[in-house]
């Protein structure tokens, strides 16, 4: 199987759809710069929502800006440890994140190695594109869920559909929409986002069945 880039936004039949999730304010509560694993707080619906996406056969990939690394608040090792904690909590509920991607950079960081203008920091599409290459995902058939317009911007840049959740800073973001950027859906939380995604998938599958039966 050869991996084709879907640069034109045309769905590639060989590549999978996936769900990209922001972390803070979407998967877990936004506590500011998370710098202690004790401060990881799951929403009551998180495990069920991720498991529902798993059961639908959709890879679930976390893409998170962690500028606290560039700012010297915590290390990459800490971020990776936090992701192991999140994965372990989900596993206890039968849910799975297929991969975690984080951006440790910030142009105004104080740690020189990370104080760069990168292409992975959302609203850049770098993390989604890298995950797509690594995991055989077609962004144009995929979804991105987040609580900030920069998540929606990253989805737009990657050609994915976008869902803004009202958790985290989402309700505030909803109240000040940017010019030239809209989400495909705005819902209360990750549980509703998962339901919306699964409904879209049913509609798309029904359409493709219909097309096949007409051929």
Q: Determine contact, residues 158/190, Cβ cutoff 8 Å.
A: no
Instruction: Choose the one of Mg ion, Zn ion, none that binds residue 147, judging by a C-beta under 5 to 8 angstroms depending on kind.
Output: Mg ion
| Residue 25 near Mg ion by CB under 5 A | yes
The binder of 118, among Zn ion, Mg ion, none, by C-beta within 5 to 8 A per type, is Zn ion
Residues 6+ apart with CB under 8 A from 48: 93, 95, 191
CA distance 149 to 65: 13
**Residue closer to Zn ion, measured from CB, 120 or 131:** 120
Please report, as ranges, the residues that interact with Zn ion according to CB under 5 A.
103, 105, 118, 120-121
- What are the φ/ψ torsions at residue 3 (nearest 5 degrees)? -85, 125
Map residue 59 onto helix, strand or coil: coil
What's the first-to-final CA gap in the chain, in angstroms? 26
What 3-state DSSP class applies to 129? helix
Strand spans (E) along 43-170: 60-65, 99-103, 143-146, 161-165
Q: Which does 103 bind (CB under 5 to 8 A by kind): Zn ion, Mg ion, none?
A: Zn ion
Is-catalytic flag, 48? Answer: no
Nearer to Zn ion, 63 or 90 (CB): 63
Q: Does 173 bind Mg ion (CB under 5 A)?
A: no
Q: State how far the Cα of 173 lies from the Cα of 130, in Å rounded to an integer.
A: 27
Single out the residue of 20, 54, 140, 147 in contact with Mg ion (rule: CB under 5 A): 147
User: Is 98 assigned a catalytic role?
Assistant: no
With CB under 5 to 8 Å by kind, the binding choice for 68 among Mg ion, Zn ion, none is: none
Q: Which of 24, 138, 147, 151 is catalytic?
A: 24
Nearer to Zn ion, 23 or 121 (CB): 121
Phi, psi of 46 (to 5 degrees): -60, -50
3 state SS of 99:
strand
Size of the site for Mg ion (CB under 5 A): 5
- 24 lies in the site for Mg ion, by CB under 5 A: yes
The residue among 79 and 120 lying less far from Zn ion, judged by its C-beta, is 120
Q: Which partner, Mg ion, Zn ion, none, binds residue 27 by CB below 5 to 8 Å per kind? A: none
Cβ atoms of residues 79 and 69 within 8 Å: yes
Binding Mg ion (rule: CB under 5 A), the pick from 22, 129, 173, 192 is 22
- CB nearer to Mg ion: pick between 31 and 56: 31
Residues that bind Mg ion (CB under 5 A): 22, 24-25, 147, 168
User: Annotated active-site positions, please?
Assistant: 22, 24
């Amino acid at each position: 199987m050869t991996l084709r880039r879907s640069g034109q936004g045309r769905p590639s039949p060989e590549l999978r759809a996936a769900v990209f999730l922001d972390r803070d304010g979407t998967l877990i509560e936004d506590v500011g710069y998370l710098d202690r694993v004790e401060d990881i707080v799951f929403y009551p619906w998180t495990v069920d929502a991720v498991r529902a996406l798993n059961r639908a056969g959709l890879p679930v990939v976390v893409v998170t800006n962690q500028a606290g690394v560039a700012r010297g608040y915590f290390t990459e090792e800490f971020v990776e440890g936090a992701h192991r904690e999140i994965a372990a909590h989900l596993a206890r509920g039968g849910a799975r994140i297929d991969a975690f991607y984080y951006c440790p950079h910030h142009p105004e960081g104080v740690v020189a190695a990370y104080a760069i203008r990168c292409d992975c920091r959302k609203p850049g599409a770098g993390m989604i594109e890298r995950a797509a290459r690594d995991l055989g995902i077609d962004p144009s058939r995929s979804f991105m869920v987040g609580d900030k317009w920069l998540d929606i911007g990253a989805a737009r840049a990657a050609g994915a559909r976008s869902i803004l959740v009202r958790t985290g800073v989402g309700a505030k973001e909803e109240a000040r929409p940017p010019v030239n950027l809209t989400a495909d859906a705005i819902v209360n939380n990750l549980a509703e986002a998962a339901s919306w995604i699964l409904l879209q998938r049913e509609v798309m599958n029904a359409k493709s069945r219909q097309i096949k039966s007409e051929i």
